[in-house]
A = this chain, B = another copy of it.
Amino acid sequence: MAKDKKVQAITDMEVDFGQWFTDVVVKADLIDYSGVKGLFILRPYGYAIWENIQSILDKKFKETGHENVSMPMLIPESLLQKEKDHVEGFAPECAWVTLGGSEPLQEKLCIRPTSETLFCDHWSHVVHSWRDLPMKYNQWCSVLRWEKTTRPFLRGREFLWQEGHTIHATAEEAVEETKQMLEIYADCCENYLAMPVIRGNKTDKEKFAGAEDTYTIECMMHDKKALQSGTSHYFGDGFAKAFNITFADKENKLSYPHETSWGMSTRIIGGIIMTHGDNNGLVLPPKIAPIQVIVLPIAQHKPGVADKAQELVDRLKKIDVRAKGDFSDNSPGWKFAEYEMKGVPLRIEIGPRDIENNQCVAVMRSTGEKITLNLDELEEKIPQLLEAVHTTMFEKAKKNMEEHTCCAHSLEEAKEIQETKGGFIKTMWCGDLECEMAMKEKAGMSSRCIPFEQEHIGDTCAICGKPADKMVIWGVAY
C-alpha cells in the first residue's frame, strides 16, 4: 500500500453523496475498475465481506432444506423466449454470444441475466412424480445485465448473487416458501447487517418479469433513498405451463407444479456502505466485518509491546473473533485512518503504559467511544462490545428510517415532503397503475412496496381520491 494513500481525504457525504460513495468503495480497497464498463473487480477486502454474507445465507438455506447446484451460464435465445413476460423483461439487457472460436453460432446465446428458464428446462427433464417434489435449489454465481448507467455494487453489468429456485406440488407450499425466504433475507439484514427493513409486496408494475407476486425488503440509505435489498417471487404455474413441466400426483393425475425464485446480490454491500458509512469511510457491521478487531501496538519498538499485541490477537482468534495486528512501520496515525477507512468495528490500542496496568483501550468505529479494558477480561468483553456495536448501528439506522418516514394524504403533500425532507412516504392507494405513474412523474417516486404491516391512514387514494384500502410506501430508489 502506498504510504500516502490515506492522506487524500474522501469527499464529504453532505457535499456529494455519490462521490463520497465512490471514494469509499475505492479507498477502502473494496473495488477496482476493470477494462469493461460496469464490470467491477471485487478486491480481497470487498470479496471477504461477500464471503461472510454468503456463509450466513448458505447456512440458512441449507437449514431450510435447500441444495446448491450449478447451472450453465449461457441460455439459448429460444429458451429465453419461452415465457412471454420474462423475455420482455430481460431480452433488452442481455449480452449475446454469437461466436464460438471463429465460427458464428447457429443460435445466439445470452449470458444468464437470471436463470429461471434454465431451471425450468432442467425440471422438465427430471420432474415426473409427486415423489420428486419439492425441489429446492440455490446457486451462487454471477449474472449479466447490459445496463446503460453503472455504479460499483449498486448497478453492475455483472454482479454476484445467489438465486434460489424451487418447485412445489401445491400453490400453498410455494407461497409459503416465497414468504420464508423473504424472512431469511430480512433476518440477515436486521440481525447480521444491522439494516432495518420494511417487508412488503411489490405492486404489479414493480413485480419481477413473469412473477405472480414479488415480495421485497426495502432499506433506507443515509441519503434517505430506498434500496431494494432482497426479493422473493411466486410464479404460480405460469413457468411450468410455458415449459411443459408436469407431474403425476398421488392420484396419478397430471398436474402443473408451482415455482418460486429469490435472490440477494452484492448490491447489499452498497447498502451496508450507504446505511452505516461516515465521512471517515466505511463502518462495517461486526458480524460480516472481515476484520472485527484490529490490534495496534503503540510505541511498538519498546520491549514487549509487539509481543503483547500479538498475544491479544492470538487470544481473540482462539475465541473465533476475526482479529488482526498491524505491525508494519506505518505511523499509528496512518493506521488509525486506514482501519477507520476500512470500517473495522473495534480498534484495540496497546502501549507500554497499558501493559504496565494490564489493560488496553478499545475504540468503537461506529461511535468513537473509548473503553479501557482489563486484559484479563478480554475474552469476555470483546464479544460483548461487538454485540453492542451491532445494536448501536441497528438502532441508529432504524432511527434514521423512522425519522424520515411520513404520511401524506395527497400527491402534492407527498411531493412537498419528498422535496423538503426526503425519505419514505406512506399514502393510501387505490391500486390503479395510472396513480402509480402519476406519483412517479409528478413526485419522482416509485412505489417501494405495499407493506405487510398495513396502517389505516385514510380511506381514499392520495392520488385520485377514489376509495382505497392499501397503504403504499413511496420513495426515490437506487
Contacts and interface: CB of A to CB of B under 8 A. Distances in A.
Interface of A: 1-3, 32, 34-36, 39-44, 47-48, 50-51, 67-74, 76, 79, 92-102, 108-109, 111, 118, 121-122, 125-126, 128-129, 131-132, 137, 141-142, 144, 146, 157-158, 160
8 contacts: A3-B131, A41-B70, A41-B118, A43-B69, A48-B68, A51-B68, A73-B144, A96-B98
Contacts of A72: 34, 36, 39-41, 158
Contacts of A100: 95-96, 146, 157
Contacts of A98: 96-99
Contacts of A42: 69-70
A17 B40 CA distance: 44
Given A41-B70, A100-B146, 18 more contacts: A32-B122, A34-B72, A36-B76, A41-B69, A41-B72, A47-B67, A48-B67, A48-B68, A72-B158, A73-B73, A92-B101, A93-B101, A94-B101, A96-B98, A97-B97, A98-B98, A100-B157, A111-B111
Nearest to A67: B44
Contacts of A126: 32, 43
Contacts of A36: 72, 74, 76, 109
Contacts of A2: 128-129, 131-132
A102 B92 contact: yes
A40 B67 CA distance: 17
A47 B73 contact: no
